[in-house]
Amino acid sequence: MTIEIERRFLLKNDNWRTEAGTPEKMLQGYLSVEKEAAIRVRIIGDKAWLTLKGYISDVTRSEFEYEIPLQHAEQIMQTMCRFKLEKHRYKINHQGFIFEIDEYFGENAPLIVAELELDSEQAEFPKPDWLGREITSDGRFTNAYLSKHPYSSWVNHTACH
Is 151 one of the annotated active-site residues of the chain?
Answer: no
Cα–Cα distance for residue pair 21/79, rounded to 1 Å: 34
Q: Which of 30, 90, 104, 151 is catalytic?
A: 30
Cα–Cα distance for residue pair 137/125, rounded to 1 Å: 18
Length of the chain, in residues:
161
The residues annotated as belonging to the active site are 30
